[in-house]
Amino acid sequence: TGVLYLVPTPIGNLEDMTYRAIRILREADYIGAEDTRQTKKLCNYFEIQTPLLSYHEHNKEASGMKIIDRLKEGKTIAIVSDAGTPAISDPGYELVVSALMENIPVVPLPGANAALTSLIASGLDTKDFYFYGFLPRGKKEKREQLERLKFYPFTMIFYESPHRLKETLSAMLEVLGDRQLSMARELTKKYEEFIRGSLTEVLEWAKNTEVRGEFCLIVEGSENEKNEENTETKWWEPLTMVEHV
Ligand code: SAM
């Protein structure tokens, strides 16, 4: 059978493409791309001539089956998303599951990712953290999700689009209470910046700025729970092993 490669692409700076990523994209029989026009540009820049297949949120079932068929015929297929690491708030997950069910080898490449890049410069605890991704858009659903995370004691990572940023920051302040966060804006690009401070301070910044660009939010975990003697099982803790009789 063939091989399914998962290939990260830059999140803004083309220099973040790895030598291996370029070689795998060149050598693959096909590239499965979230947006073929976007990937075409990347391929032109790096002189990659591999044919593209469209694989995105809205055709993932039909397109996924075609990709699996080609893998079974022995083809090598590399999956890319628009930017960053496939399968992280981007298409790829279902394809990995299907490939594994067919015993097709899945080979992941390390590379650009907004979440980890933001985390390592946040100044917040990098030892224990939780990747959330995008919160729901609806006000009520967003609050429900934040309620669920209110006592979560570890660093949390969120993606957010610029036009929902203010609303999300104020929901966080309201539900989680004031705490530290580090916001990475336009990572790896010309106007990369970090906005660090309390939720109140960062919300104030957002209110006084024309919010543009891409944002990743790194939010401090709950202080309360960390200091509390509490024996109740938390959903984020591993389940205790059941003893066999
Ligand atoms: N798969 C990608 C990854 O590995 O990072 C994430 C894709 S997700 C659809 C896009 C979101 O990632 C953006 O809305 C933003 O929250 C975050 N993001 C992507 N590029 C970024 C950048 N250069 N700076 C800050 N955040 C970024």
What's the pLDDT tens digit per position in 218-236? 999 998 765 555 556 666 6
Report the pLDDT value the prediction gives residue 223, as an integer from 0 to 100: 86
Report DSSP letters for 87-155, one per residue. TSSSTTHHHHHHHHHTT--EEEPP---HHHHHHHTT-S--SSEEEEEEPPSSHHHHHHHHHHHTT--SE
What is the secondary structure of 69-88 as a DSSP string? HHHHTT-EEEEE-SSB-TTS
d(CA 88, CA 85): 6
Tell the residue number behind the tokens 């590399």, with chain if given. Answer: 78
Tokens of 116: 């980890």
**Residue pair 150/186 in contact by the 8 Å Cβ criterion:** no
CA of 214 to the centre of ligand 1 (A): 7
Burial string for 172-200 (b: 16+ CB within 10 Å, else e) reads: bbebbeebbbbbbbbbbeeeeeebbeebe
- For the beta sheet containing 106-108, the strands, ordered from the edge strand earlier in sequence to the opposite edge, are 52-54, 30-33, 76-80, 3-6, 106-108
- Whose alpha carbon is nearest atom 19 of ligand 1? 114
> Which atom of ligand 1 approaches the CA of 160 most closely?
16
pLDDT at 209: 93
Q: Give the Å distance between the CA of 40 and the centre of ligand 1.
A: 20
CA of 165 to the centre of ligand 1 (A): 14
5 three-class SS: strand
pLDDT of residue 224: 75
Look at ligand 1, atom 8, and give the residue with the nearest C-alpha: 89
pLDDT of residue 188: 98
Return the pLDDT at 172.
98
Is the shortest distance between the CB of 80 and ligand 1 below 6 Å?
no
CA 239 to ligand 1 center in whole angstroms: 32
Q: How many residues does the chain have?
A: 245
Please tell me the distance between residue 80's alpha carbon and the centre of ligand 1 in angstroms: 14
Q: Rounded distance, CA 195 to CA 185, Å?
A: 8
The ipTM, to two decimals, is 0.99
Please identify every stretch of the chain with a pLDDT value under 50, giving residue numbers as ranges: none
According to the model, what pLDDT value does residue 245 have?
A: 53
Q: What is the CA radius of gyration of the chain?
A: 20
